[in-house]
């Protein structure tokens, strides 16, 4: 194959001799390192319970968003329940729905990915992660080779978009017969410490490299992001995850797919991809710092109301308002979530207003909305 016939990066000789402009990247790495230090320093200053809660929130976000990128919507309460159990704080979330076996397996995979950041990454571990994603051996209605490399028996592995008859091929992965060699190359590189390569840059390279290989029938994106999380945990020198890269990627999903596609086509330096990756990582860290302020405010809130007499419904809803409640709080939403009548919901809400915990929103429309009375710092 001549160079003019080559369309994708992996078709070029020595395609993994990665080239990029260090001068362009170094200021971005410095920004990331500053934010990492700021976030970890803040977490370590909060005592024992609050960092655990921050880790819980970040891991719930990561598990939900890495699946949502692929179009799969997971139940928030079930994911939170599973993460809480794995972190040993399930007693704080007893009212949540129990997780499914599939959700438990995904959570365990993500936690193991970061907890064992100092251990070598092996092909057997990647197979185990893949089986965790597809415990039944099916992706939707389709049987897949769970825990095995794809074999291309149904044609080349392609990333496509568009409806039937109007498909557009964005990328075609290396053929299945190349995968054993290519994965050996990847794992050897991953498991060697390179003193002159910052781990945040290495995480960006690993992300692009593995998603380019696309070695499985399905689940390649989620496993790519699990590998990324593992290297970011190593860059933090901590198994505790306080920020979510997947949540930030989801916020910029169109840009993510565009920069991936443009980098995977042809044979160009990785500078643009790594600039995007490091910038997105900085944004994820900044969002984590904002969330940490809310965790502190939540702790202060419960400290101030520790002697308030509250029923289980009120505790459930107040915790939701502090964590994963979307939209405006109304009597109807309260009744739906707590599975009670509108009259009981209204009594619960009015009781919290009398206690100074909730207040009526000023911007209410047709129906009355309510919001938390947030303690001042």
Per-residue pLDDT of 125-146, as tens digits, reads 999 999 999 988 888 888 899 9
Mean pLDDT of 111-137: 94
Confidence of residue 101 (pLDDT cuts 50, 70, 90): confident
* Residue-level length of the chain: 377
Separation of CA 4 from chain center: 38
Q: Closest Cα to residue 139, out of 151, 127, 130?
A: 130
How many CB atoms within 10 Å of residue 230?
25
Q: How far apart, in Å, are the Cα atoms of 206 and each of 140, 226, 285, 325, 368?
A: 28, 11, 20, 34, 50
Q: Which two tokens stand for residue 258?
A: 């565009």
| Farthest CA pair distance, the chain | 77
Sort strands 138-139 and 142-143 into parallel, antiparallel or unpaired.
Answer: antiparallel
Rg (CA), the chain: 23
Annotated active-site residue in 207, 214, 258, 305: 214
Q: Among all chains, which residue has been given the structure tokens 């209605």?
A: 141
| Residues of each annotated binding site for ATP | 218-225, 256-257
pTM of the predicted structure, to 2 decimals: 0.84
State the average pLDDT over residues 25-38. 96
- Which domains are assigned to the chain? 3-295 (1.10.3290.10), 311-372 (1.10.10.10)
Question: Tens of pLDDT along 175-233?
Answer: 999 999 999 999 999 999 998 999 999 999 999 999 999 999 999 999 999 999 999 99
pLDDT at 91: 72
Q: What is the mean pLDDT of the chain?
A: 90
pLDDT for the residue 281:
98
Where is the binding site, in residues?
A: 218-225, 256-257
Q: What is the pLDDT of residue 174?
A: 94
Give me the pLDDT at residue 326, please: 78
Say whether 44 is catalytic: no
Q: How far is CA 297 from CA 57, 62, 290, in A?
A: 14, 22, 11
Q: What is the pLDDT of residue 54?
A: 84
Taking 70 as the threshold, does the pLDDT of residue 3 lie above it?
no
Q: Percentage of the chain surpassing pLDDT 90? A: 63
Convert 101-110 to b/e letters by CB count within 10 Å (16 or more is b): eebbbbbbbb
CA 219 to CA 289: how far, in whole Å?
Answer: 30
**19 has a pLDDT exceeding 90:** yes
- Cβ(66)–Cβ(246) below 8 Å: yes
């Amino acid at each position: 194959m001549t160079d003019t016939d080559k369309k994708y990066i992996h078709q070029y000789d020595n395609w993994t001799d990665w080239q990029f402009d260090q001068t362009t990247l170094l200021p971005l790495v410095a920004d990331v390192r500053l934010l990492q230090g700021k976030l970890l320093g803040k977490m370590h200053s909060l005592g024992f319970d609050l960092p655990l809660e921050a880790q819980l929130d970040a891991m719930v976000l990561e598990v939900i968003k890495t699946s949502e990128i692929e179009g799969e919507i997971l139940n928030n309460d079930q994911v939170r329940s599973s993460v809480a159990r794995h972190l040993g704080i399930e007693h704080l979330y007893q009212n949540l729905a129990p997780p499914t076996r599939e959700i438990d397996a995904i959570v365990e995979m993500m936690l193991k990915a970061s907890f064992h950041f100092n251990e070598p990454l092996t092909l057997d571990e990647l197979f185990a992660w893949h089986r965790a994603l597809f415990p039944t051996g099916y992706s939707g209605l389709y049987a897949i080779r769970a825990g095995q490399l794809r074999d291309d028996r149904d044609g080349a592995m392609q990333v496509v978009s568009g409806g039937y008859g109007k498909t557009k091929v964005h990328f075609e992965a290396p053929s299945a017969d190349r995968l054993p060699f290519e994965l050996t190359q990847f794992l050897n590189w991953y498991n060697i410490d390179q003193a002159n390569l910052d781990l945040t840059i290495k995480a960006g390279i690993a992300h692009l490299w593995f998603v380019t290989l696309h070695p499985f029938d399905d689940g390649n994106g989620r496993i790519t992001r699990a590998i990324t999380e593992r290297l970011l945990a190593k860059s933090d020198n901590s198994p505790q995850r306080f920020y979510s890269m997947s949540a930030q990627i989801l916020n910029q999903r169109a840009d993510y797919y565009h920069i991936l596609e443009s980098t995977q086509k042809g044979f160009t330096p990785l500078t643009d991809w790594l600039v995007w990756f490091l910038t997105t990582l900085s944004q994820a860290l900044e969002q984590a710092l904002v969330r940490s302020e809310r965790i502190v405010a939540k702790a202060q809130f419960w400290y101030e109301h520790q002697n308030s007499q509250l029923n289980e419904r009120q505790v459930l809803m107040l915790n939701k308002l502090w964590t994963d409640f979307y939209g405006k709080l109304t009597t109807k939403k309260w009744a739906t979530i707590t599975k009670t009548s509108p009259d009981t919901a209204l009594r619960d809400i009015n009781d919290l207003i009398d206690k100074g915990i909730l207040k009526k929103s000023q911007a209410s429309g047709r129906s009355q909305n309510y919001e938390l009375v947030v303690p001042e710092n």
